[in-house]
Chains A and B, each alone.
Chain A
Amino acid sequence: MSLFLCLMVMSPASWSAPPQAELSTTALEQQLDHEDWRVRHAAGLALSTRLNPSLPSAVYEIRPVPTRAGTLRFHSEIFSDPAASWSVAERLLQGADGPETRSALAALHASIPQSDAAPLLYIAKHDTSPAVRSAAVAGLARYSQTAGLKAIEIGLVDPDARVRANAVSSVGYHKEGSSLEAELLDALKDPDAQVRSQAARMLGWIEYRVAYVALRTLLSDPAEEVRLHALRAMRTIDPAQTRSLPELEALKKQPDERMQVILKSLQTP
């Protein structure tokens, strides 16, 4: 059995006596650069355990606490040790926790400096829970440049609309998010209203002029949020043209006070 498989089938309970891998520390360190993330992960886990035998069990024992929104989060200084990221990834990959805890683990893993993004990209694509995939996508987008873009791309084609909406929203917070203009344009046609509204919103944030025509079609979208963010984005991209659109007459009849604020702002050049 390979080291990787050996580690992957271990139960959390066995962490009190972590196996001494046959490989030397030097060999394990060399494997941290391996092209296969699973080999890197197994080596990192073994190395971190060798350096701090109590760390994996400490990571496994920590329970998340509820945020005020009812979601969970981990807050402990033990995660200040970058080596904790291997154990966090392992706990996430083993999947023994419920989706709420796994979501918190995904957010935590993304926020640990120098953590290997590959396990989280794997989670972003393959976890069974949309909430966990969504947290992985958003976490990576927040804290990682290259892997963040990859995570967003994974999230944009996720079968679950909540994950797609979060991926679309993440575009606006990524330094290179504007490189995903085409994907945002596609997202304007998404069957889910939240995805469309977030796409319109982000196209406005990155001021993607090409999107103007597509955004205009959304001014008659059945969803209030989509119409609102489409108009706000159009105002950002081309206020002069937006001011003279005939569609504004219909929008003026809408009761949403936010829409009325935007329309009012368009009245004054």
Chain B
Amino acid sequence: MRTLTPATLILLTLSMACRGGLNDTGDGRGFSMDFQGIKVSPLQPENGDFPGLVGAPNFDDDNEDGTADWDEEGGSDSENEWTELLLHTEGESVRIELSGETDNVRIWKGDTHVLGAELVDAPLTLSGTEEEVLLHVEFGDYLAQARLDVTQVETQESFSLRLTAAPLVIYHHLDPAQRVWMMEFPSNTNGVQNNDEMAQAYARELGDAYNKVAGRQYDWDPWVQDEFEWAVLDTPDHHVGVVIDSIRNGQGQPGSGLDDLPENEMVEPDVFVQEWGEGRGSSLDYFGNLEVSPPVTVDGVYYPFGRVYTGGKGAETPRPQLTDFLATQQLQDPFMVDSTWLCVGHIDEYTTFIPDPDSEKGFRLLITNTDDAWELLEAMDPSTALPKYAQRNMLGYGINTVGELLTEPGLRQLNNEIQELYLDTQLARFKEELGLDDDDVIFVPGIFEEPLSMCGPYAAALIPGMANLIVAQDTDDNTALFIPDPFIRANSNDQSGDPFIQLMQERLPSSLKLHFVDDWAVYHMGLGEVHCGSNVERTPSVSWWEEAIHLLEDRL
């Protein structure tokens, strides 16, 4: 049974006073409704305009009984997605009508379901025996929209209140990081190489924000980026975490690899898991192939949550269920760039976004550039040894020196082709879709190979792809980048002698703390990098009901 607590009343009153929400009579009463610190009444009808009352779809499981709360009858003491609505009746009978997407909205009076959803859409009449009536609104779908028309029966005075459910929003790299996941690979007796150095860097720099994924429990499936994507349902009262579960299914059957990680370790009150699509997806459905730009303005339209982008082309695209759904959320207007030329096929392999507070837009697009890499290599002493690359046995490439790298048959032709046909064309696509110009771009030196014995004629990074990085806040609240170490040097332990690192240090914003981490054995040689092996939960940094109303079509 829900009652309006004294603390809530005080909070509502204070909040209304601060936001100028009290009605013109100044007494805060009269025939009206209070919600989320706002008062709507016949004197202030505009306060009920879209989006009006904002709530989160009730898909989590606050009472942890295994059933989504929307699918349960009644509420529970732990329920917190019901949004409070305080009706002042002045002791008169009041009629309330619900219209719009009524199937996806319920109005509760105490624990009694009084309007919407399964009930017939007959108006609710309150007798006026109570001066104040506490109602709750519950939503059953993303971005569900409805309207309450409230009429005092005797005077026929009325006002309306819009009800709007939160849309799903996926985080971008400017949103502050909250938690980072990675699977640790200890060495075993067979000498399987580990990722100790990367794990140590995360533990040292991120502190408690670093979450280890248990390798043995999840079949040593290291591709933590690909299995799930954090998103949020944000409201003025709180936010609900949504773990979008990929149809990757651990690269195999349901239950294998990382498939069960979100359900096992992330579900809790105010966090739920949802999957879009069925069956086993292709690599294009993995979430290294689902990213979000920072906030942009494109052709005069401001996208405060950025725009979602995926990789694909022609008939080779992610399955439409998720991207179609994201399009219906209206805030992050998805677009597609070509990633089909890559062996893995993910857009995180050659591009990303990083914060740059000193730049005009507050961020930079990073994109791999092969010409820059050749230029750096040609400036080096060709006899420079490359011990990481010299390894054989699937631990390296059998390329002993810079000179050998420069003269490796086919490599120059391949990279010229990639630069011309893919990197240049996709950079143009990014600029067009996101309204970017040359100043917004930082080129990252990189070279690709075609691992024919594993993939056929599709590309993968030969030099660890430095655009494939993680943005997170460290324990001192610095914004840090965790970048794959390129190892273009004779002494693997001395990063100061690496011209690729030096160039990145020159080009990347000085406000960022850079960590070049060793991802070679577990990730790079497995056709991935730092970003592929990590996953980040973030915190929303703006409010959609304040900043993004212009993107939400009024569907009523």
Interface of B toward A, CB cutoff 8 Å? 190-193, 220-223, 226, 251, 257, 283, 288, 343-346, 392-395, 398, 408-411, 413-414, 417, 420-422, 424-425, 428-429, 450, 452-457, 460, 521-523, 525-528, 532
Contact = CB atoms under 8 A, between A and B. Distances in A.
A78 B191 CA distance: 6
A61 B189 CA distance: 11
Interface stretch (A26-34, A36-44, A107-115, A246-254): A107-115
Contacts of A65: 192, 220, 222, 526
B113 to A, nearest CB: 47
Contacts of B222: 65
B394 A71 contact: no
B20 to A, nearest CB: 52
Residue of A166, A174, A257 with most partner-chain B CB within 10 A: A257
Interface string A41-62: 0000000000000000010011
A258 interface: yes
Contacts, number: 153
A70 B220 contact: no
Contacts of B521: 75
Nearest to A178: B409
Interface in A159-215: 162, 165-166, 169-170, 172-175, 177, 194, 198, 201, 204-205
A134 interface: yes
Which 8 pairs across A and B sit closest by C-beta, in order of nearness? A138-B452, A77-B191, A79-B393, A68-B528, A107-B453, A138-B453, A173-B410, A172-B410
Given A61-B190, A68-B344, A143-B398, A135 B453 contact: yes
A142 B303 CA distance: 47
Interface in A209-261: 228, 232, 257-258, 261
Given A67-B526, A68-B223, A68-B226, A62 B453 contact: no
Interface of A: 58, 61-62, 65-71, 73-80, 103-104, 106-108, 110-113, 134-136, 138-139, 141-143, 162, 165-166, 169-170, 172-175, 177, 194, 198, 201, 204-205, 228, 232, 257-258, 261-262, 265
A229 to B, nearest CB: 9
Nearest to B345: A69
Contacts of B193: 75-77
Contacts of B346: 68
Contact of B452 (A67, A108, A173, A194): A173
Contacts of B450: 169, 173
B394 A261 contact: no
B288 A111 contact: no
B525 A66 contact: no
Nearest to B346: A68
B190 A58 contact: yes
B484 to A, nearest CB: 13
Given A165-B457, A261-B425, A170 B393 contact: no
Contacts of A141: 452
B283 A70 contact: yes
Given A165-B456, A265-B420, 5 more contacts: A70-B251, A78-B190, A111-B398, A139-B453, A177-B409
User: Which of B393, B420, B460 has most chain A Cβ within 10 Å?
Assistant: B393
29 contacts: A58-B190, A65-B192, A66-B257, A67-B527, A68-B526, A69-B460, A75-B192, A75-B395, A76-B191, A77-B192, A77-B393, A77-B395, A80-B395, A104-B454, A107-B454, A135-B453, A136-B453, A138-B453, A141-B452, A142-B452, A165-B457, A166-B456, A169-B456, A172-B409, A175-B409, A228-B421, A257-B428, A261-B424, A265-B420
A261 B420 CA distance: 8
B519 to A, nearest CB: 12
Nearest to B189: A58
